[in-house]
Amino acid sequence: MAKPKNKIVGRQKELKALKRAVSLNRNVLIEGPVGVGKTFLVREVLEELDRDFERIDGDTRYTESKLTGWFDPPLVLKKGYAASCFIDGPLVSAMKKGKILFINELNRMPEAVQNILLPAMDERHITIPKLGRIDAKPGFLVVATQNPREFTATHAVSEALLDRFEMLPLHYQSREEELQIASHQTQGKVSTELLERAVDIVRATRNHPSIKRGASIRAALAIITLVNGGMDLEEACLMALPSRIEMISSDEDALQIIRELVSTDTFSEFKEKKSPQKSSRG
């Protein structure tokens, strides 16, 4: 049986803005912290608009030829540098076919690779050595996502490139919406108390004075899954949170802060109900 489609919760304003901008052939950059729903929003909009797209996921080792395409060496040996020996990369393919280029995590790509996009977005053509000029068909545009600059493993995006994009910032959603997301993803099979507890702990990591970067709804979903599978809440949080938060100072003990967040109890009954599972672990 097919998995039920994960429906988007809230975000009506952002959905509308992104749809409108794409329909108007604008390049859009969606910026927000990890797990805020950037990729999800883009996929939802491209699907709703029924637009063909090429997706690439930026990483620090992404190369120029991976983006544009490359000459296939065995073919070149046979035929020389003929156009038929060129394997289109996602950029060239999107330009030739008038598709959307969806670049997930734009600022994880090296700057030199990002810069290839400039003429493509601006003048709607690029020139590839030994191949020549590629023109973009109508419909070609770039929709990209990125984490804010202070995140690790990001490269700077040049002012020139930013100047080609309309910007759509995504912020964390309200408590009610985050509860709804968690509830949908667990298909109503989890107690409201657990949903609330996980979402509240994760939201608390975003406001903690010792934490530079808090966790996303993904962390809440992980906590819920672990607790629902029989784990004690503290144990689940100690597993789900450390990889998803960043401390302001490396001297701070992340695990201790997580323990404190779990024990600051707004739902003390919840812990009592869960206590039999604690003892069963020995």
Ligand X SMILES: Nc1ncnc2c1ncn2[C@@H]1O[C@H](COP(=O)(O)OP(=O)(O)O)[C@@H](O)[C@H]1O
Please give the residue ranges that form the binding site for ligand X (CB under 6 A): 6, 8-11, 32, 34-40, 145, 181, 217-218
- State the sign of the Cα–Cα–Cα–Cα dihedral 244, 234, 172, 209: negative
The least distance separating Mg ion from the CB of residue 281, rounded to whole angstroms, comes to 34
Q: Which residues of 225-244 are buried (b: 16+ CB within 10 A; e: fewer)?
A: bbbeeebbbbbbbbebbeeb
Joined tokens for residue 52:
């063909």
3-state helix, strand, coil in the chain (%, to 5): 50, 15, 35
Name the one range near Mg ion by CB under 5 A: 39-47, 65-73, 106-114, 149-157: 39-47
If contact means CB under 5 to 8 A according to the sort of partner, which of Mg ion, ligand X, none does residue 15 touch?
none
**Position closest to Mg ion via CB:** 39
Could you give the angle at the alpha carbon of 277 between the alpha carbons of 272 and 279, nearest 5°?
Answer: 95
Q: Which is nearer to ligand X, 180 or 191 (CB)?
A: 180
**Beta partners for residue 88, in sequence order:** 69
The least distance separating ligand X from the CB of residue 68, rounded to whole angstroms, comes to 25
Q: Which is nearer to Mg ion, 41 or 233 (CB)?
A: 41
119: number of Cβ within 10 Å: 13
Position among 15, 39, 64, 210 found at the interface with Mg ion (CB under 5 A) = 39
| Residues 223/215, Cβ–Cβ less than 8 Å | no
* Count of residues of this chain found to bind Mg ion when the rule CB under 5 A is applied: 2
Helix (H, G, I), strand (E, B), or coil: what is residue 101?
A: strand
Q: Which is nearer to ligand X, 39 or 228 (CB)?
A: 39
If contact means CB under 5 to 8 A according to the sort of partner, which of ligand X, Mg ion, none does residue 218 touch?
ligand X
If contact means CB under 5 to 8 A according to the sort of partner, which of ligand X, Mg ion, none does residue 40 touch?
ligand X
Name the one range near Mg ion by CB under 5 A: 3-11, 33-41, 48-56, 81-89: 33-41
The least distance separating ligand X from the CB of residue 271, rounded to whole angstroms, comes to 26
How far is 31 from 42, CA to CA, in rounded Å?
Answer: 12
Work out whether 191 is an interface residue with Mg ion (CB under 5 A). no
The least distance separating ligand X from the CB of residue 121, rounded to whole angstroms, comes to 22
The least distance separating Mg ion from the CB of residue 84, rounded to whole angstroms, comes to 36
Cα–Cα nearest to 203, from 47, 35, 86: 35
Work out whether 115 is an interface residue with Mg ion (CB under 5 A). no
Helix (H, G, I), strand (E, B), or coil: what is residue 203?
A: helix
**Position closest to ligand X via CB:** 37
How far is 179 from 136, CA to CA, in rounded Å?
Answer: 43
Residues that bind Mg ion (CB under 5 A): 38-39
